[in-house]
Amino acid sequence: MIVPAYKVTTVFDISQTSGKELPRIAAELQGDIAEYQRFMQAVKDSSPVPIEIRKISKENVNGYYSQTLKKIVLQEGMSEMQTIKTALHELSHAVLHDADTGKEKEQDLDRRTKEVQAESVAYTVCQHYGIDTSEYSFGYIAGWSSDKKMDEFRDSLKTIRDAAAEIIQTMDAKLYPDKEQKKQKMQEKHSVRRHG
């Protein structure tokens, strides 16, 4: 008969240690964004739910999307770049993963897939507007996709592309209303020609 046994040993929590700080897989973004207030307002106006910035008591949380309260909360005191990136990440959750209205609500997605999708959409939208979040996003995506197979990631690519395109289109309409009006008039002009 074999009796399983365990050896007693001492372990430490990271907070009980000292020395050089351990490297983080995703580095917090630092930096300002030109016309930050206008850009942040476009993000808020593009969101299907309210966005608020306030102190979040939970440690190491940059933001969250509340399914029950239907709102996005962002940690106050972050850099402009980190705030915008986090807002777009949580906006992606609201658009894709809301239990009632999300585009992916019928899918039985695990948390890893949802996080990879949301961060990938945020990265894509930020890149479109010239905001480089790769220092944070690549590590974040790598951390959440570590057990994923490439086929599973490929399955999310269309979802990521479509959600990013939708957010960009909505934000462009808020950021550049004259451009959208001109585009709309051109479409109307072309539709009149086709019908006339």
Q: Is residue 13 part of a domain?
A: no
- On whether residue 188 sits in a domain, the answer given is no
Q: Domain count of the chain?
A: 1
Domain contains 15: no
Answer whether residue 189 is part of any domain: no
Range of the domain at 107: 28-175
Quote the pLDDT of residue 46.
Answer: 96
User: Looking at the domain assignment, is residue 141 inside a domain?
Assistant: yes
The answer to the question of residue 65 being in a domain is: yes
Give the residue carrying structure tokens 């990938």: 120
Amino acid 22: pLDDT? 46
- Residue 43 contacts residue 84 (beta carbons within 8 Å): yes
Give the pLDDT of residue 47.
97
Q: Is residue 150 part of a domain?
A: yes
- The Cα–Cα gap between 171 and 181 comes to 14
Q: Specify if 11 maps to a domain.
A: no
Per the CB < 8 A criterion, the answer to whether 180 and 172 are in contact is: yes
pLDDT by residue, tens only, the chain of 196 residues = 666 666 666 666 555 666 665 445 667 899 999 999 999 999 999 999 999 999 999 888 999 999 999 999 999 999 999 999 999 999 999 999 999 999 998 888 889 899 999 999 999 999 999 999 999 898 888 888 776 666 667 778 999 999 999 999 999 999 988 876 666 666 665 554 444 4
Q: Which pLDDT belongs to residue 58?
A: 87
d(CA 63, CA 72): 7
Q: Using CA atoms, how far apart are residues 33 and 38, in angstroms rounded to an integer? A: 10
**Beta strand pairing status for 71-75 and 63-66?**
antiparallel
Are 28 and 81 contacting, i.e. CB atoms less than 8 angstroms apart?
no
